[in-house]
Structure 1
Amino acid sequence: MSELKRLSAGDLAPDFTLPDSEGTEVSLSDYRGKSVVVYFYPAAATPGCTKQACDFRDNLAELNDAGFTVLGISPDKPAKLAKFVAAEGLTFPLLSDADRAVMTAWAAFGEKTMYGKTVTGVIRSTFVVDPDGRIAHALYNVRATGHVAKLRKDLKV
């Protein structure tokens, strides 16, 4: 599997339309004119992904007040996302990329190293998309724990 070109600052963010936890279609273009944090995570309701989602939830007011909308994307189906949203009281959209096409377009799916082995899977990644639809920040291989605090520091939020 050849590695896709990773996105970097200044690149046009690949548009997408994906179902949320209720099955409602959400498009990145719906947020044109706003700053958006798009983060990709491997699986709802797993320890690291729960920590990361709850971290975004707990910092959402400050991010929103600073003008940032948060969207989480995983390969989970909408029904699993709905359970995750309800269980953790998540207050931002989680989107389903079941065929991983969006993750692939954003270079957030591919080869990665886990426990010393090379595997193919979701690469935990976070992007900040500016109001013009361009990548302002592209962060690959982020840690589930402490990542939101670092992002807030980088965004001065």
Structure 2
Amino acid sequence: MAQPNLLDVDWSKIPAPADDGGAAHLAGMMLPPVSLRATDDTMVALSALKGRTVVFAYPRTGEPGKIALVDDWDMIPGARGCTPQTCAFRDLYAELKTAGAAHVFGLSTQSTDYQAEMASRLHLPFPVLSDEKLALTRALKLPTMEVAGLTLIKRLALIIDDARIRHVFYPVFPPDQNAGDVLEWLKKNPAKS
């Protein structure tokens, strides 16, 4: 199925993901010393970042007019919505920074080359991290799904304070509201200085 408009989604026709408990263990965990390549061509170790970091993870962004990974992509709970989620974080980026996010990153298991095209096309003000080798995904035991022989991260968002996961948003639905939910949480829970 072609994906002509990745942003125009009727969420009432898309199945919502259930809370399968796949992220229940994450709050309170320290991040492992794993470095990931970012779309700004740097290597980022989330565990080395000081202050508050927001990381939103998603299965896989599509490309306008390209064929979906599988015909029933939209019917896989939690699969559809990566571009709307990413655009919402883009649109609220300045507010997230004002609310205390020192760093904001997207995260998927797609290659940096694939992510770089998307980051450029969507004019993202933040880098996207590639966990193509699943190093961080496995170290944190992030919830995943298998689609067309690929391991994809289930959609979630992490608030990280000095390398410790402080809060987890999971499951996330609808995806385009995740950035707003994160922003509200940041406003209600300021980082400790």
TM-score range, shorter chain: 0.7 to 0.9
> Which position in structure 1 is the counterpart of 2:137?
103
Aligned length: 148
> Which position in structure 2 is the counterpart of 1:117?
none
CA drift of 1:62 comes to 0.8
> Which position in structure 2 is the counterpart of 1:153?
184
CA drift of 1:4 comes to 7.0
> Which position in structure 1 is the counterpart of 2:83?
50
Residues in 1 aligned to 2:171 and 2:142: alpha-carbon distance in whole angstroms: 9
CA drift of 1:15 comes to 3.4
Residues in 2 aligned to 1:141 and 1:5: alpha-carbon distance in whole angstroms: 8
Equivalence map 1:132-147=2 (5 Å): 133-143=163-173, 144-147=175-178
Structure 2: give runs of 5+ residues left out of the alignment: 1-20, 64-79, 189-193
Larger Rg: 2
1:37 to 25, 39, 54: 54
TM-score, normalised by the number of residues in structure 2: 0.67
Q: Which has the higher strand share?
A: 1
Closer, same or farther: CA 6–105 of 1 in aligned 2, 3 Å: farther
TM-score, normalised by the number of residues in structure 1: 0.81
1:13 to 31, 52, 62: 31
C-alpha offsets along residues 44-95 of structure 1, whole Å, 9 cap, x if unaligned?
2366111011100100101112220211110111111110011100110101
> Which position in structure 1 is the counterpart of 2:158?
127
% identical equivalent positions? 32
Q: Does 1:60 align with 2:97?
A: no
CA drift of 1:9 comes to 3.1
Residues in 2 aligned to 1:155 and 1:97: alpha-carbon distance in whole angstroms: 25
CA drift of 1:155 comes to 1.9
Residues in 2 aligned to 1:6 and 1:101: alpha-carbon distance in whole angstroms: 19
Structure 1: give runs of 5+ residues left out of the alignment: 115-119
CA contact (8 A) 2:156 2:171 kept: yes
CA contact (8 A) 1:104 1:110 kept: no
Residues in 1 aligned to 2:34 and 2:61: alpha-carbon distance in whole angstroms: 20
Q: Does 1:77 align with 2:111?
A: yes
Residues in 1 aligned to 2:52 and 2:33: alpha-carbon distance in whole angstroms: 14
